[in-house]
Amino acid sequence: MKDLIATYYFRTKDGVDASYAANAIREEQTTGTWTSLSTVNDKTAYVHDLDGSVEDLVELPDGGYLTRICFPHEIFEKGNIPQYLSVIAGNLFGLGKLEAVRLLDIDLPEKLCGCGPKFGIEGVRKIVGTEVSCRPHIGTIIKLKVGLNPKDTAQVAYEAALGGLDLIKDDETLTNQTFCPLFERLEAVMDALDRAKDETGKQVLYAVNVTTGGDRIVELAHKAVSAGANMLIVDVLTAGFSAIQALAEDPAINVPIHVHRTMHGALTRNPHHGIAMRPIAKLVRSAGGDQLHTGSVSGKMGSKAGEVLADNIEITKPLSYLKPIFPVSSGGLHPGKVAAEISKLGTDIILQAGGGIHGHPDGTTAGTRAMLQAVEAAVLGIPAREYSLSHPELAAALAKWGDK
Ligand code: CAP
Ligand code: MG
């Protein structure tokens, strides 16, 4: 398959024929516009090679329609993800003939894919040392999400690392603010993680948030890696897919890229209009993110279990030209929710808890231990409540938050 197939759900305005509407999407995103053109004539008939085609159109019980549109690969500038999106997710969302339209999925041909992740699941597991156990990774988000100074941020990281987790990340809104300058924070946290390693023997990954303008992100990432960063986080929808791609393609940036999806709710939440997480996730894999937030099944965000699992399958399925990437389940998680996440999403995931670790009654280190104990119980198939009888940190977490 060399062309790009995009799947849309749409609802038409009263009286608008569905086939007409599907073609309106195709035309608007390829060679057409709202009227006939004098510039299209016998001499320029070659442009019709880029017309694309409506592959199929299915009416749904809810009165909406599904259509798959084939976009010729020539319409895309290889590697230019912003331009890809201008085609498959552009003006169509505003077409007056449509009451609503949602981009559900894309089949991205290999020749249009980027370099993909440098590390992927296997590479990150090798760094952490879980390539044999294949257990879920446990991560935390420094909380408060903003406000702590570098020294206090490092203290939170130190206490989390003592608990034995795999990954600590900046929150999506923490970058290089004056209250916590990035390089002061990075130095303090990496020193704290070194101290923790002296006690635990375990090197913890710290994803420093390099989200910034397109003209600065590569240089900032270079400086962060030179200053000792062992992982980066980028907010893909606010920084852009190209930011991920630029970092992933840069050989000097030899650390994994954790991809946050903040702002996705503006696109993914409405079941009838916008962009589903699936195409976003596939583009992140193509652009080169190593791990990506795809939603939790029991957390605070309104993700649907079936959709999250299906999206995770898509970004972890083997492709000869792109490594599988690590799905991140996060948002409102705590030790009492771990079993539900693992039973529905499996163990090839990263389970992340911010409040669910730092809100533990006995503090961050106990919260981290409680998360690890909850993972141990779930992997062993032991109910968390039973396992908590011999694991006090887990017992205290269940006493505070329950196990539902
Ligand atoms: C979680 C989090 C993450 C969400 C994002 C937050 O903190 O740091 O950004 O997980 O949602 O800021 O809410 P808590 P998603 O663990 O304290 O909820 O992963 O669905 O993109
Ligand atoms: Mg956050």
Parallel, antiparallel, or unpaired for β 205-209 and 167-169? parallel
Give the domain ranges of the chain: 4-112, 120-401
Residue 127, number of CB atoms within 10 A of its CB: 17
Per-residue model confidence (pLDDT) at position 299: 76
Catalytic residue among 169, 260, 323, 337: 260
CA of 7 to the centre of ligand 2 (A): 30
Helix axes 182-200, 150-162, angle to 10 degrees: 30
Tell me, yes or no, if 202 is annotated catalytic.
no
Greatest extent of the chain over all pairs of C-alpha atoms, in Å: 81
Residue 293 pLDDT:
98
358 Cβ below 6 A of ligand 1: no
Indicate if ligand 1 lies below 6 Å from the C-beta of 52: no
235 Cβ closer than 6 Å to some ligand 1 atom: no
Which helix (H) or strand (E) is 160 found in, with range?
A: helix 150-162
**Given this model, what pLDDT does residue 346 score?**
96
Q: Give the domain 4-112 fold.
A: Alpha-Beta Plaits (3.30.70)
The identity of residue 92, as a single letter, is: L
Atom of ligand 1 nearest to the CA of 295: 20
Identify the pLDDT of residue 22: 98
Sign of CA dihedral 49, 245, 293, 312: positive
The residues pairing with 354 across neighbouring beta strands, listed in sequence order, are none
Q: What is the CA radius of gyration of the chain?
A: 23
Q: Give the count of beta carbons closer than 10 Å to the beta carbon of residue 287.
A: 28
- Residue 117 phi/psi, 5-degree rounding, is -70, 140
- Nearest of 89, 77, 106 to residue 4 by alpha carbon: 106
Nearest atom, ligand 1, residue 261 CA = 21
Distances (CA, A) of 128 to 123, 301, 336, 352, 400: 9, 28, 24, 15, 30
Rounded Cα distance, 123 and 131, in Å: 9
Alpha-carbon span 278 to 127, nearest angstrom: 27
**Rounded to the nearest 5°, which phi and psi values hold at 258?**
-90, 130
pLDDT at 404: 82
For 283, list phi and psi in degrees, rounded to 5.
Answer: -70, -35
Question: Which residue do the tokens 């990035």 mark?
Answer: 182
pLDDT, one tens digit for every residue, the chain (404 residues)? 799 999 999 999 999 999 999 999 999 999 987 788 888 889 988 999 999 999 999 999 999 999 999 999 999 999 999 999 999 999 999 999 999 999 999 999 999 999 999 999 999 999 999 999 899 999 999 999 999 999 999 999 999 999 999 999 999 999 999 999 999 999 999 999 999 999 999 999 999 999 999 999 999 999 999 999 999 999 999 999 999 999 999 999 999 999 999 999 999 999 999 999 999 999 999 999 999 999 999 877 777 778 999 999 999 999 999 999 999 999 999 999 999 999 999 999 999 999 999 999 999 999 999 999 999 999 999 999 999 999 999 999 999 999 98
- Closest residue to atom 1 of ligand 1, CA basis: 331
Helix (H) or strand (E) holding 351: strand 350-353
Closest residue by Cα to residue 260 from 308, 312, 207? 207
**Cβ 333 under 6 angstroms from ligand 1:** yes
pTM: 0.96
pLDDT at 172: 98
Residue with tokens 């939170």: 156
Q: Where are the beta strands (DSSP E) in 142-283?
A: 167-169, 205-209, 231-235, 257-260, 274-275
Specify burial of residue 149 (Cβ count, 10 A radius: 0-12, 13-18, 19+).
middle
Whole-number Å distance, alpha carbon 24 to ligand 2 midpoint, is 39
DSSP classification of residue 135: P
Q: Which two tokens stand for residue 151?
A: 């020294």
Contact predicate 244/288, CB 8 Å: yes
Asked whether 367 lines ligand 1 (CB < 6 A), one says: no
Measure the CA–CA gap between 28 and 90, rounded to whole angstroms. Answer: 9
> CATH fold of 120-401, please?
TIM Barrel (3.20.20)
Q: Atom 3 of ligand 1 has which residue's CA nearest to it?
A: 331
Order of strands, sheet of 274-275, starting from the edge strand that comes earlier in the sequence: 53-59, 65-71, 4-12, 98-107, 274-275
Q: Which two tokens stand for residue 70?
A: 């084939």
Verify whether residue 111 is a known catalytic residue: no
Q: From ligand 1's centre to the CA of 330, what distance in Å?
A: 5
Q: How far apart are CA 220 and CA 213, in angstroms?
A: 10
Half-sphere exposure of 113 (CA within 13 A, CB side): 23
